[in-house]
A and B are shown apart, each in its own frame.
Chain A
Amino acid sequence: MLRFILTRVSLIIPTFIGITLLAFFLIRLVPGDPIETLAGERGIDPARHEQLRKEYGFDKPIIVQYGIYLTRVLQGDLGKSMITQEPVINEFSSLFPATVELALCAIIFALVFGLPAGIIAAIRRNSIFDHGVMGISLTGYSMPIFWWGLILILVFSVQFDLTPVSGRIDVLYYIEPITGFLLIDTLLSDEPEAFWSAVNHLILPTIVLGTVPLAVIARMTRSAMLEVLGEDYIRTAKAKGLPRLRIVALHALRNALIPVVTVIGLQVGVLFTGAILTETIFSWPGVGKWLIDAIFRRDYPVLQGGALLLGVVVMSVNLLVDLAYGLINPRIRHTR
């Protein structure tokens, strides 16, 4: 087991270095110059431009720049944003909880509706319910979520005035960030209504971000269940006359969950992609929006640092899923 873990972890190192390389050089290929972008209509005179380039170290050969960058990264220093002059790591850690909160809610939303739907669809194979679930989930899977978000705002916020338009919480509440997760912070505060305000603000973004994972989970659960239900041991159990619910809950579900867990793990990357769009639409103060802004402003340190940190997060989650998978299914350990 230890060897298995070590192999998996060692695979991360080249990927990590690869990401720093990719992020660093790809971004430097982007035409445009952050100093010029900052200057606006007024422009900037060449001498001063040169001075600033020196200040930011852009005048050194690119390999040297990368060397400096990598050394600093290994010391845990991701640099400072060129726009705000705030350390990248600080900005990331103040925004990341918002993204995680949204992503977790979306995954929970997807699980709460996706798992039962998939299970029931599998049990009642070819029923109307089955076709309905499969139809809806394929539609969800095909959804352009940026459009979906706009439509939901139009219907629920503007037309029926049920949900707020954007943001994380009503601005009238002053919540001291303790964990950064508003759902927890509001509960810790002495204003119980603030919690509901936070929940209210989460509904639409959660639905928008959760739509695709919901569809994937429902489909995956269904097909995994179908496969398991066809296995010999289930048929044996049935033949033995065990109650149906017991078969499904105890035997089938446990085995069917293995591929589902894997899929959820793989959805993390997809979730961050979705988060970029969702956060843009709902003005959600998370890392997705932050990175998009950084691209448009040519804020190199933020982009490099942000991509690296997100990459690390995705890698870690994948690693955990891998390990969990190895634990659940001992056969995996030996096949590599």
Chain B
Amino acid sequence: MTTETMEAPAVAAPTATPPHPLREFWSYFSANHGAVAGLVVIVAVVLVALLADVLAPHSPYLTDTSIALKPPFWQEGGSLTYPLGTDPIGRDILSRMIYGARLSLLIGIVVVAVSIVLGTVLGLVAGFFRGLTEIFIMRLMDIVLTLPSLLLAIVIVAVLGPGLMNAMLAVALVILPHYVRLARAAVITETSKDYVTAARVSGAGTLRLMFKEVLPNCTAPLIVQASLGISTAILDAAALGFLGLGAQPPSPEWGTMLADAREFVLRAWWVVTFPGLAILITVLAFNLLGDGLRDALDPKLKRS
């Protein structure tokens, strides 16, 4: 499941840029070392997530209070059995982080998928129908943007109850306006172009126009936004986890791991350092990839 959805943007890429052959895209992309590095890290994270059962030395849920808070192997008292140490109830941190990779990827992909689909539809509708529909949708999005996103996400999670699924939904709703605005702007630019007018004159229906003509032409910015969106999603979900509202223990989600062990920060630095690093590296990789994609797909596109 993880990999399938993961590849969706990559597969969509060629259709998104009909004038650019795949090779041209790759030559642009590979010239950007940062982007390639990001891709490599992402592939590694995906592999780790897929092979978690093989790679993890222990079960991520196995508790053993007799070995609680063992330091990483290079510190006195640590051992290679638990390379990155153990948490307050004796679970292996490395194993938990490996399984956590699954959750983080899942979060990123589900959130972005939900918000892209919803956002594109709303944006297309707003851009096509204009008038009251547009005003209503765009005002709603303005309201969402006006409130601090984390606050809104927290309230939504409070309404739905804490948990991974609800946290993902909350984050998806909060980042929705970006996609709606992007899609709407693209639609408005595109509809004023000749080919749309031509299609309309030749009697194409609105729905057909929306999905057959206009949508493919505004895919490029959406793809870029999507890869950057994954990183935002992972960060926001981790922040919710940190506030105790995201994935619930014993789930090895990185933000939750951090929150769960926060009280030990003065006594055992490793319980908070490693999960945080994992978040940072993964998010950075997605941002690098997003930057690379943007430059490769359209050097003139700007960060929205």
Q: Do A and B interact directly, with beta carbons closer than 8 Å?
A: yes
B residues contacting the other copy or chain, number (CB 8 A): 43
A18 touches B150 (CB 8 A): no
Q: Which residues of A contact B247 (CB under 8 A)?
A: none
A280 touches B287 (CB 8 A): no
Q: Which residues of A contact B275 (CB under 8 A)?
A: 147
Q: Which residues of B contact A150 (CB under 8 A)?
A: 258, 262, 265, 272, 276
Identify which of residues 143-183 in chain B touch chain A, using a CB-to-CB cut-off of 8 Å: 143, 145-151, 154-156, 158-159, 161
Q: Is B34 an interface residue (CB 8 A)?
A: yes
What CA separation (Å) do A139 and B273 show in the bound complex? 16
What CA separation (Å) do A223 and B295 show in the bound complex? 12
B151 touches A310 (CB 8 A): yes
A151 touches B159 (CB 8 A): no
Given contacts A138-B288, A219-B303, A269-B145, contact A146 B150 (CB under 8 A): no
A103 to chain B minimum Cβ distance, whole angstroms, is 11
Q: Which residues of B contact A277 (CB under 8 A)?
A: 150, 239, 242-243
What CA separation (Å) do A290 and B162 show in the bound complex? 20
Q: Is B227 an interface residue (CB 8 A)?
A: no
A135 touches B287 (CB 8 A): no
Classify the interface of chain B: helix, strand, loop or mixed.
helix
Q: Is B291 an interface residue (CB 8 A)?
A: yes
B265 touches A292 (CB 8 A): no
Q: Which residue of A lies closest to B290 (CB)?
A: A138
Q: Which residues of B contact A315 (CB under 8 A)?
A: 146
What CA separation (Å) do A18 and B146 show in the bound complex? 10
Q: Is B114 an interface residue (CB 8 A)?
A: no
Q: Is B16 an interface residue (CB 8 A)?
A: no
Q: Is A184 an interface residue (CB 8 A)?
A: no
Q: Which residues of B contact A273 (CB under 8 A)?
A: 148-151
Given contacts A141-B287, A158-B266, A219-B303, contact A269 B149 (CB under 8 A): yes
Classify the interface of chain A: helix, strand, loop or mixed.
helix
Q: Is A291 an interface residue (CB 8 A)?
A: yes
What CA separation (Å) do A315 and B149 show in the bound complex? 14
Q: Is B238 an interface residue (CB 8 A)?
A: yes
Q: Which residue of B lies closest to A276 (CB)?
A: B150
B242 to chain A minimum Cβ distance, whole angstroms, is 5
A142 touches B272 (CB 8 A): no
B283 touches A310 (CB 8 A): no
Q: Which residues of A contact B140 (CB under 8 A)?
A: 18
What CA separation (Å) do A154 and B143 show in the bound complex? 38
Identify which of residues 209-268 in chain B touch chain A, using a CB-to-CB cut-off of 8 Å: 231, 235, 238-239, 242-243, 255, 258, 262, 265-266
B238 touches A144 (CB 8 A): yes
B85 to chain A minimum Cβ distance, whole angstroms, is 15
A292 touches B243 (CB 8 A): yes
Given contacts A15-B139, A138-B287, A146-B239, contact A311 B276 (CB under 8 A): no
Q: Which residue of A lies closest to B234 (CB)?
A: A144
Q: Is B269 an interface residue (CB 8 A)?
A: yes
Q: Which residues of B contact A310 (CB under 8 A)?
A: 147-148, 151
Q: Which of B159, B161, B231, B291 contacts A26 (CB 8 A)?
A: B159
What CA separation (Å) do A148 and B258 show in the bound complex? 12
In this complex, which of A146, A158, A269 has the most chain B Cβ atoms within 10 angstroms of its Cβ?
Answer: A146
Q: Which of B142, B155, B235, B279 contacts A15 (CB 8 A)?
A: B142
Q: Which of B148, B231, B262 contacts A276 (CB 8 A)?
A: B148
What CA separation (Å) do A270 and B159 show in the bound complex? 23
Q: Is B68 an interface residue (CB 8 A)?
A: no
Q: Is A89 an interface residue (CB 8 A)?
A: no
Q: Which residues of A contact B159 (CB under 8 A)?
A: 26, 29-31
A residues contacting the other copy or chain, number (CB 8 A): 49
B128 to chain A minimum Cβ distance, whole angstroms, is 20
B147 touches A147 (CB 8 A): no
Identify which of residues 180-208 in chain B touch chain A, using a CB-to-CB cut-off of 8 Å: none
What CA separation (Å) do A135 and B266 show in the bound complex? 30
Given contacts A15-B146, A277-B242, contact A142 B151 (CB under 8 A): no
Q: Which residue of A lies closest to B153 (CB)?
A: A273
A22 touches B276 (CB 8 A): no
A154 touches B265 (CB 8 A): yes
Given contacts A19-B147, A315-B146, contact A144 B283 (CB under 8 A): yes
A292 touches B154 (CB 8 A): yes
Identify which of residues 127-144 in chain A touch chain B, using a CB-to-CB cut-off of 8 Å: 134-135, 138-139, 141-144
Nearest 4 CB-CB pairs, A to B? Answer: A147-B276, A272-B148, A142-B283, A142-B284
- Chain B residues engaging chain A, CB cutoff 8 angstroms: 34, 139-140, 142-143, 145-151, 154-156, 158-159, 161, 231, 235, 238-239, 242-243, 255, 258, 262, 265-266, 269, 272-273, 275-276, 279-280, 283-284, 287-288, 291, 302-303
Can you give 20 contacting A-B residue pairs, CB < 8 Å? Answer: A18-B139, A19-B143, A19-B146, A30-B155, A31-B161, A138-B287, A138-B288, A142-B235, A146-B238, A147-B279, A153-B265, A154-B265, A223-B303, A273-B148, A273-B150, A273-B151, A277-B150, A277-B239, A292-B154, A295-B154
Task: Contacts A15-B143, A138-B284, A144-B235 known; list 16 others, CB within 8 Å.
Answer: A18-B143, A19-B146, A19-B147, A31-B159, A144-B255, A146-B242, A147-B275, A150-B272, A153-B265, A269-B145, A276-B154, A280-B243, A295-B158, A310-B148, A311-B143, A311-B146
- Chain A residues engaging chain B, CB cutoff 8 angstroms: 11, 14-15, 18-19, 22, 26-27, 29-31, 134-135, 138-139, 141-144, 146-148, 150-151, 153-154, 158, 219-220, 223, 269-270, 272-273, 275-277, 280, 288, 291-292, 295, 303, 307, 310-311, 314-315, 318
